[in-house]
Structure 1
Amino acid sequence: MIKNLKRLISFAFIIILIIISSGLHAENNKTLFRGNGTEPDTLDPHLATGSWEGNVINDLFIGLYTKDEYGEPINGSALDYKKSVDGLVYNFYLRKDHFWSDGEKVTAHDYAEGLKRVMNPETASQYASLLYLIKNAKEINTGKLDINSLGVRAINDFELEIILNYPAPYLIELLTHYTTYPIPRHVLNKFGKDWIKPKNIQTNGPYTLFNWRPHDNIHLKRNNLFYDNENVWFDEVIFYPIDDNEAALRKFRAGELDTNNGYPENKSQWLKKNMPKNIKHDNIRVISYLVFNTETSPFNDRDVRKAVSLSIDRDVIVNKIRNFNETIAWSLVPKGIANYQFSNIIEEQNLSQDERYNVAKDILSKKGYSKNNPFRFTLKYRSGGDQKKHMVAIQSMLSKANISVNLEASEPKVLYNYLRTGDFQVGDAGWIADFNDASNFLFLFETSSGGLNYGRYSNNIFDDLMLKAKNEIDVLERSKILKQAEVMLMNDMPLAPILFGISRHLVQEDIEGWIENPSSFHASRYLKRR
């Protein structure tokens, strides 16, 4: 009897565990678990600079425009707009059913104050130069004009006017960028820089910030006041900062992650064979490159920059180490850019790599360098992922041209701080297009681009060409001017382009709504579980 009773209790206990387990599974069913690469430095849309920050910010906030699941611009706060004949004045008409998560309405004043905040020099927004197309923006950001002279005003609660310095056919797509997002003025005025903390923040996107445990996770919960809330499937989203792609893959295979940004290069063939349905690739508009600090010796010498660039065996990196069907870069602007003719520019692309090594060695020998007296410098690069393997490969390649490289790894947010402040000799960098226009790559090397012009490159003729292109209304003529600027830039070589890449992801088979797109835009609001 006692024996049977024990069996009955054991059986009941097992049933209870199954019920509890099922309950937990059901509870987690509407929670999306996302591997997000590195730890964000901030979630303030006016201070963020990294895609890993943007992934979270785009779940929390919505701008005048946002993107759909195909990565194409769609209405956000703005329902419509009108444009002046000369293309310089835009009036945006806002929806009246858009609220902050505390019930306050999102108004044109929130947008006007947000744009002024970005331009305020005290904010130190790294992306401020992205918005220099707005009237008086550059002058305000450089301290020459008062903030209230910015070409932005709220005509009323639901009409916003933006005045431009020159026509910008890409403006609507630019307005999907988080730098242009509004701020909850009532929260900012109350809490100042602490407005972004979970206990204070109010958002206007599909989710709110519930908790942020640094280097552990960022926990979002549904914003029931979001205007499209009825089409948002997941109740909660948890982002995990996982720099190590191997660790992320293990978590993904164990079912602990629904999606992950990236996977190990050395597992590519294994994944294609064993998990083909989980691999997703976006053919994004992106370039990976090395940038030279042109302000200081020896990289203020164009020939030295050229020697380093020619000593990189791009074919090995792209087709042997990475092997993702990416494209070797011999220019700055990638393929697929609207109203722009792609071309490889660097002349030495037609040489063999051995011939390039010889050109590089010849240049350096004239500078006094040799096998016994190699040219030395430090290359700072992003830790995590597969970057170390790439940098070690480049280190080995450059040694063949009598170049000795000291490698110094930092987490991405630290590295980009080095780059923005000019604290480097050569840096590992990358750029993903904010909007589909060649100027979004070329502007990185304008003198006026501040911290985004990492190498402090400055060329008056290049700057003049960029200004001329901005004021050119004819699309074809504008394209020709931009191409002139790119050719001049590549001849000056303030960067060593390496590859035009892809964005790779892992996605569980029960996740629907993930659509590969050139913007690599995969907002949680568009995803659901089968």
Structure 2
Amino acid sequence: MVRGGRPAWTGLALSLMVAAPAPAGAADNSVGVRLPADAAPPAKQVLTLIGREGTFIDWSKTVQKSQWHPGLITEALVMQDINSDVKPLAAEKWEVSKDGLTWTFHLRKGLQWSDGMPLTAKDFEYTIKRIANPETGFDVAWYFSMIKNLKEVNEGKGKLDEIGATAVDATTLRLTLTEPTPYLPMILSDLYVVPSHIVSKVGDAWSTSPATAVSAGPFKLEKWDRDRELVFIANRAYRGIRKPYLERIVYKIGRDETLFPGYLGGDVDAMPWIYEGPLSPSDIAKIESDPTLKKESYTWPYFQTWWVAFGGDQTAFKDPRVRKAFAMAIDRDAIVKSVWRGMAVPAYGMLPPGFHCAQPARLKDAQPYNPEQARKLLAEAGFPDGKGFPKYDLYLRAASPTVKTAGEAIQAMVKQNLGIEMGVQNLERKLFMDRLNKYDLPIVLIPWEYDYYDASNYMNIYKSGGRHPWSNAEHDKLVAEGNSGASDAQRCAAYRKAEDILVREPAAVFLWHPTVTQLWKPWVKGEILKTN
């Protein structure tokens, strides 16, 4: 199958090209790459997209509010290919100590920024410490919490020089961990280095202007016209291994609802996957009924899970009976059938079907739809027929119209089956994430999309002190065992036990896994568009 997560997005820079109706023959582009024989001439190697606008092209400042995509202008130590396998990138090789706590990465020689300054291990050390620094305000620092003292420093309990990231010399980076983490290279595929010589002087705004957004990646930022478009051009100073076919990427700013009309109108060359999913069931029906659109579409089950998450001890959801009541009052099958109409499958646990360690069938009956039992549990918790239950809103994050409909369906089920009045609020992404990270939202409908093909990517989310306020010592212990297990069988056994706790406690109400549909004009060619 085609996999269209983050590896495919950043793969744009490496493998896509624009084909020509009548190719003139092979030619070299501006960065010295020989174009395939069926390619359009270099001047026509332009890809146009539409998408949301973020704040910074810098994943050491923000992920949740970032602009697409730091992988265009910076490098990670490693990358994931289209099959989610780890491959060398800025680091050409690495080794790990016998105890699994020390990793040493050796950078390729000759890497540089577009201003001619060398890219060194010191830049990676600086990036990691920037992530940890609480003054940066990085929104997913917990993602890198296996690096020694990073979590403590981020919480204001340590000093930056105590973090387990050291540039031994210009091309050697040593990372020290708190526990063995066999999947560390997968994590590091999302660690995009920043230019320490620029950021230390300019600060957070470095990636917002062509004047300061020096690049170590295959493209450079040529223009960022706020509310209109960004333009990236091939970086002639790039010394890495991802030299592109494309000469230019034009990224027009638009709301989710403009994407499909823009594609139909010929304004863009592609409509890749957007996190919350911009296509509605009626859009899919149009694609399926149109021979041309159907030929240009790519559809597959996706590694993403949607669930209802609950607030902590300051809310009524501190009582597990209330959480179980909500779980049994929500009919996931009805939501999948009536709202998503073939665009999703029911979720019975955290891990999506086909993902590492996933066995969803074993959890099918763990959160059954049972309104009668739900009402009984709610009454036992002190809220018979919903009486006296606090007035909460279900919060959504920059939701598409279809996700809004799903939220309203949950609202109706809770009212009908529990007698609880609940509003629905769709917050702007930044506001939502700021409040979520402060544990300031009582109940939310939210997804997680895989970053890398390992169960740790999902199972670490509910570790104590993570994205949600729920905490369970046995769950944490099992996740730690899964993270550091010596064999895949040991790791999966621990993760499955931890997932059982998530579902049966419950920590959340798991609802659906989406099906992805992308659209690509026929003149866009590349490895990521080949089915397998």
Among residues 443, 461, 483, which one is paired with 1:444 in the alignment?
A: 461
The CA distance in 2 between the partners of 1:237 and 1:406, in whole Å, is: 41
Q: CA deviation at 1:151?
A: 1.8
Query: In the alignment, which residue of structure 2 is the partner of 1:277?
Result: 295
Given the superposition, is the C-alpha separation of residues 370 and 72 from structure 1 closer, same or farther in structure 2, using an over 3 Å criterion?
Answer: same
Q: CA deviation at 1:71?
A: 4.1
The CA distance in 1 between the partners of 2:410 and 2:66, in whole Å, is: 28
SS of 1:99's equivalent in the other structure is: coil
Question: Whose helix fraction is larger, Structure 1's or Structure 2's?
Answer: 1
1:477 equivalent to 2:495? Answer: no
Q: CA deviation at 1:301?
A: 1.5
Bigger radius of gyration: 1
Query: In the alignment, which residue of structure 1 is the partner of 2:45?
Result: 30
Given the superposition, is the C-alpha separation of residues 194 and 231 from structure 1 closer, same or farther in structure 2, using an over 3 Å criterion?
Answer: closer
Query: In the alignment, which residue of structure 2 is the partner of 1:254?
Result: 265
The CA distance in 1 between the partners of 2:519 and 2:247, in whole Å, is: 21
The CA distance in 1 between the partners of 2:157 and 2:473, in whole Å, is: 21
The CA distance in 2 between the partners of 1:514 and 1:320, in whole Å, is: 35
Is contact 1:223-1:229 (8 Å) kept? no
Moved more, 360-369 or 58-67: 360-369
Given the superposition, is the C-alpha separation of residues 389 and 28 from structure 1 closer, same or farther in structure 2, using an over 3 Å criterion?
Answer: farther
Given the superposition, is the C-alpha separation of residues 517 and 128 from structure 1 closer, same or farther in structure 2, using an over 3 Å criterion?
Answer: farther
Q: CA deviation at 1:466?
A: 2.7
The CA distance in 2 between the partners of 1:503 and 1:61, in whole Å, is: 27
Identical amino acids, percent of aligned pairs: 23
Query: In the alignment, which residue of structure 1 is the partner of 2:435?
Result: 418
**C-alpha deviations, 1:222-242, integer Å up to 9, x for none?**
211123588412222122343
SS of 2:363's equivalent in the other structure is: coil
1:380 equivalent to 2:395? Answer: yes
Among residues 54, 61, 64, which one is paired with 1:47 in the alignment?
A: 61
Q: CA deviation at 1:511?
A: 0.8
Aligned length: 481
Among residues 49, 71, 75, which one is paired with 1:62 in the alignment?
A: 75
1:432 equivalent to 2:449? Answer: yes
The CA distance in 1 between the partners of 2:338 and 2:97, in whole Å, is: 52
Query: In the alignment, which residue of structure 2 is the partner of 1:364?
Result: 378
Is contact 1:167-1:473 (8 Å) kept? no
Q: CA deviation at 1:188?
A: 1.2
Is contact 1:43-1:56 (8 Å) kept? yes
Tell me which amino acid in the other structure corresponds to 1:492. Answer: E
Query: In the alignment, which residue of structure 2 is the partner of 1:78?
Result: 91
Among residues 502, 516, 525, which one is paired with 1:503 in the alignment?
A: 516
**C-alpha deviations, 1:475-518, integer Å up to 9, x for none?**
32332222222212222222111112233322111111162699
The CA distance in 2 between the partners of 1:65 and 1:415, in whole Å, is: 31
The CA distance in 2 between the partners of 1:436 and 1:373, in whole Å, is: 44
The TM-score, its normalising length taken from structure 1, stands at 0.84
Is contact 1:70-1:515 (8 Å) kept? no
Among residues 242, 245, 257, which one is paired with 2:254 in the alignment?
A: 242
**C-alpha deviations, 1:438-467, integer Å up to 9, x for none?**
222122111232xx22xx112223223333
Tell me which amino acid in the other structure corresponds to 2:266. Answer: G
Among residues 132, 137, 144, which one is paired with 1:124 in the alignment?
A: 137
After the TM superposition, which residues 80-99 of structure 1 pair with which residues of structure 2 at under 5 Å, given as runs?
Answer: 80-99=93-112
Given the superposition, is the C-alpha separation of residues 58 and 324 from structure 1 closer, same or farther in structure 2, using an over 3 Å criterion?
Answer: farther
**C-alpha deviations, 1:33-55, integer Å up to 9, x for none?**
1122x3323322112223x8474
Q: CA deviation at 1:252?
A: 0.6
Given the superposition, is the C-alpha separation of residues 221 and 229 from structure 1 closer, same or farther in structure 2, using an over 3 Å criterion?
Answer: farther
1:194 equivalent to 2:205? Answer: yes
Q: CA deviation at 1:56?
A: 1.5
Query: In the alignment, which residue of structure 1 is the partner of 2:5?
Result: none
The CA distance in 1 between the partners of 2:320 and 2:364, in whole Å, is: 14
Given the superposition, is the C-alpha separation of residues 208 and 338 from structure 1 closer, same or farther in structure 2, using an over 3 Å criterion?
Answer: same
SS of 1:211's equivalent in the other structure is: strand
The CA distance in 1 between the partners of 2:232 and 2:308, in whole Å, is: 36
Query: In the alignment, which residue of structure 2 is the partner of 1:403?
Result: 420
Query: In the alignment, which residue of structure 2 is the partner of 1:184?
Result: 195
**C-alpha deviations, 1:375-428, integer Å up to 9, x for none?**
742111134422222222222222221232211112333322221222322112
**C-alpha deviations, 1:182-206, integer Å up to 9, x for none?**
2211101221223222131212111
Q: CA deviation at 1:347?
A: 3.5
Which runs of 5 or more structure 2 residues have no equivalent in the other structure? 1-39
After the TM superposition, which residues 92-241 of structure 1 pair with which residues of structure 2 at under 5 Å, given as runs?
Answer: 92-177=105-190, 180-198=191-209, 199-227=211-239, 231-241=243-253
Is contact 1:329-1:344 (8 Å) kept? no
Moved more, 399-408 or 459-468: 459-468
The CA distance in 2 between the partners of 1:95 and 1:348, in whole Å, is: 50
The CA distance in 2 between the partners of 1:175 and 1:162, in whole Å, is: 11
SS of 2:194's equivalent in the other structure is: coil
Among residues 247, 270, 284, which one is paired with 1:268 in the alignment?
A: 284
Is contact 1:346-1:491 (8 Å) kept? no
Is contact 1:107-1:157 (8 Å) kept? yes
Is contact 1:357-1:400 (8 Å) kept? no
Query: In the alignment, which residue of structure 2 is the partner of 1:465?
Result: 478
SS of 1:104's equivalent in the other structure is: coil
Is contact 1:286-1:430 (8 Å) kept? yes
Is contact 2:132-2:141 (8 Å) kept? yes
SS of 2:496's equivalent in the other structure is: helix
Given the superposition, is the C-alpha separation of residues 119 and 244 from structure 1 closer, same or farther in structure 2, using an over 3 Å criterion?
Answer: closer
Q: CA deviation at 1:340?
A: 5.4
Tell me which amino acid in the other structure corresponds to 1:363. Answer: L
The CA distance in 2 between the partners of 1:197 and 1:106, in whole Å, is: 20
Is contact 1:380-1:424 (8 Å) kept? yes
Moved more, 423-432 or 236-245: 236-245
SS of 1:502's equivalent in the other structure is: strand
The TM-score, its normalising length taken from structure 2, stands at 0.83
**C-alpha deviations, 1:330-379, integer Å up to 9, x for none?**
11122333355445436455x5x4xx122222223443342888874211
The CA distance in 2 between the partners of 1:480 and 1:54, in whole Å, is: 38
Q: CA deviation at 1:270?
A: 1.6
Q: Considering only aligned residues, what root-mean-square deviation do their CA atoms show, in Å?
A: 2.7
Given the superposition, is the C-alpha separation of residues 290 and 41 from structure 1 closer, same or farther in structure 2, using an over 3 Å criterion?
Answer: farther
Q: CA deviation at 1:473?
A: 2.5
